[in-house]
Chains A and B, each alone.
Chain A
Amino acid sequence: MLEDRAIATEPLIRVENLAKHFPVTRGVLIARTTGHVKAVDGISFTIGRQETLGLVGESGCGKTTTSRLLLRLEQPTAGRVLLDGQDVHALRGADLSRYHTRVQAVFQDPWSSLNPRLRVRETIAEALVVNRRVTRTGKLERVEEVLHQVGLPLSAAARYPHEFSGGQRQRIALASALAAKPELIVLDEPVSALDVSIRAQIMNLLKDLQARHQLSFLLVAHNLATVRYIAHRTAVMYLGRIVEHADTESLYRRPLHPYTKALFAAALPADPDAPRDDMILSGEVPSPIDPPSGCHFHPRCPFAMEQCSRVDPALKAMTPGHAVACHLY
């Protein structure tokens, strides 16, 4: 199922040395900048056509800021996001409105992401009205089409969000993302607010939609099993940086970075007889305002060496398609 993806030469998305620093200020009338939260601190990756890139890490690692940068909800401090070779933050006019149809998003919480006062068809049509000039009948046809694609009955169009369960709302959110026929959908924790039995439905739907409409996904998630199921490639983030980046299967078979290993050890397998190779990390994720020197992970790393606190390790390719930023390798 992973092998039938189209391999195009130029990836749909290319992210180059992207950084986002938020100033931390003190004082009310005369605000002084006392530091910067380095939410994203120089990351690079690509997303191919019909490919899913998973971005994993704990809260505060910068994965949501990364997705917001791709969505143009934030301006980068440094670096670029290229969509088909075009810098998305430099887009103006017609190119910009085209960008808004090509890139869509689905967020974690289907209770807050839908406008409670709009009927489902209005929510879906809004995406069309804003982005494209469509006729009234064309609009309704498209609404029915996308409802069908996400497995909702046509009768759903006239109802309000509160009449639906969490899983169905997430289908509605997907339908409105699909309406404008996007090429990339940013999925920020798309199933983590849903119940176990509903998650599988939505994950299967995502894979079906990707195959049928040649979609690319940026999947931001903390659940490793979810990422494994959907993502072709996975990047692990820690304090604003990518510490490991690989084909999903290769990463899950042989995680290299100590942080990735700890993350995998902490993902409890649903099996009482699974080996318990616990690697309980001490301490918590340090503040991104003043991240540790050298490798950001060194204060929690059981394998930390002398140079780890001084030298920031660069991403190094270990095998084709598997890169890690760690002095152990």
Chain B
Amino acid sequence: MGTDPAVVLEVRGLRAYLYTRWGVVRAVDGVSFALREGETLGLVGESGCGKTMTGLSIVRLLPEPAGRIVEGQVLLEGEDLVTKSEAEMRRVRGRRVSMILQDPQTSLNPVFTIGDQILEALRLHHPDGESSLAARAEEALRRVKVAAPEQRMRAYPHQMSGGMKQRVVGAIAVAGEPLVLIADEPTTALDVTIQLQYLALLKEIQARTRLAMLFITHDFGIVARMCDRVAVMYAGRIVETGPTRALFRAPRHPYTEALMASVPRMEGSVARLPSIEGQPPPLHDLPTGCRFADRCAYVDDRCRREYPPTMPVGPAHEAACWRIEPSPPSR
């Protein structure tokens, strides 16, 4: 294998809570993972499992005033982002870590032209040389394959299709040549044939820039296509992490297993789909034991009493379940 690429982002024991009038929502409740240069890590889970909050915590854009990081570290090239001031974070966002959100409609300002919005991002990264900026902006649009960029510069967001807008968002996100790109369901609002175009584009940008990507999604098809490794999140915690192929071939956490089984397939038999009955526990009222216990087919007393430790189950593959026998990590 040789030496692995350098770790650019490491999240350690991150807890981010939302303080609401219904109580404390433990959206991110002890999440750890590392992201290497040029790698794509998929963060998979259902709505409300805390995957978006994890992304927002990394760029320190939790909803104000309810959201707060209460514990843990977000190390970007060894530097902790959690302790940075807002002024310092402004120099991190876009330049070192960027984020693409689900809905391009809300990411772009409707009253400014596309050109203005790209120029604004570029100005931040290249404070000198105003003269070359317009050319750079056109170049940025060309890189995300927007046709006729010189005309598009003068267009307003409403004049563009959803796929085109998401390309512009992508252009803005990578304009500052960040190390890490957090993509939060970037294709959910797009049609399938447009989704495929966009995913191919992200891969292309990554190949060129060695960008590390955190890909937040609930779609296992996208995971299979895009990700080198996968982290499965359930009720605020990562329950299983592993290389994509290993996780699809031999999922070890009962939640991962059940979730994969419940995805309808494009081939093979169409017998009755196995479904996971019930629903996740509310994040403001979590059980002490394993959070999946109530829906798990293999549950026993210990699961309800104590949260299981994360244990290795294979090369770079680990899961948090009491059914896993503690054994020496395999090679």
Interface string of A255-288 (1 = CB under 8 A from B): 0000000111111111111101010110011000
The reply to whether B276 and A197 contact each other, CB–CB distance below 8 Å, is yes
Interface string of A187-211 (1 = CB under 8 A from B): 0000000011111110110010000
Q: Counting CB contacts under 8 A, is B218 at the interface?
A: yes
A276 to B245, CA, bound (A): 15
The reply to whether A268 and B221 contact each other, CB–CB distance below 8 Å, is yes
A252 to B266, CA, bound (A): 8
Of all chain A residues, which has the CB nearest B255? Answer: A197
The reply to whether A284 and B192 contact each other, CB–CB distance below 8 Å, is no
The reply to whether A200 and B265 contact each other, CB–CB distance below 8 Å, is no
Of all chain A residues, which has the CB nearest B188? Answer: A192
Q: Which of A3-11, A28-36, A219-227, A308-316 contacts B (4 or more CB under 8 A)?
A: A219-227
Q: Counting CB contacts under 8 A, is A1 at the interface?
A: yes
Q: Counting CB contacts under 8 A, is B264 at the interface?
A: yes
The reply to whether B225 and A226 contact each other, CB–CB distance below 8 Å, is no
* Max count, chain A CB within 10 A of own CB: residue among B161, B264, B270: B264
The reply to whether B264 and A200 contact each other, CB–CB distance below 8 Å, is yes
The reply to whether A268 and B258 contact each other, CB–CB distance below 8 Å, is no
* Total contacting residues, chain B, CB less than 8 A: 42
Q: Counting CB contacts under 8 A, is B224 at the interface?
A: yes
* Total contacting residues, chain A, CB less than 8 A: 42
Contact flag A225-B191 (CB < 8 Å), given A270-B220, A278-B196? no
The reply to whether A270 and B265 contact each other, CB–CB distance below 8 Å, is yes
The reply to whether B279 and A198 contact each other, CB–CB distance below 8 Å, is yes
Of all chain B residues, which has the CB nearest A300? Answer: B193
A199 to B273, CA, bound (A): 10
Q: Counting CB contacts under 8 A, is B259 at the interface?
A: yes
Of all chain B residues, which has the CB nearest A273? Answer: B245
* Max count, chain B CB within 10 A of own CB: residue among A1, A199, A269, A270: A270
A1 to B274, CA, bound (A): 15
Other contacts beyond A207-B272, A263-B192: 18, CB < 8 A: A195-B218, A196-B218, A196-B263, A197-B258, A197-B276, A200-B274, A200-B275, A200-B276, A203-B264, A229-B270, A263-B193, A270-B260, A270-B265, A271-B248, A281-B196, A281-B197, A284-B163, A284-B194
Pairs A-B, 3 closest by C-beta atoms: A268-B221, A200-B275, A270-B220
Interface residues of B (CB under 8 A from A): 46-47, 161, 163-164, 191-197, 200, 218-225, 244-245, 248, 258-260, 262-267, 270-277, 279
Contacts A/B (CB < 8 Å), 10 sampled: A58-B192, A197-B276, A198-B275, A252-B266, A263-B193, A264-B266, A267-B192, A268-B221, A270-B224, A281-B197
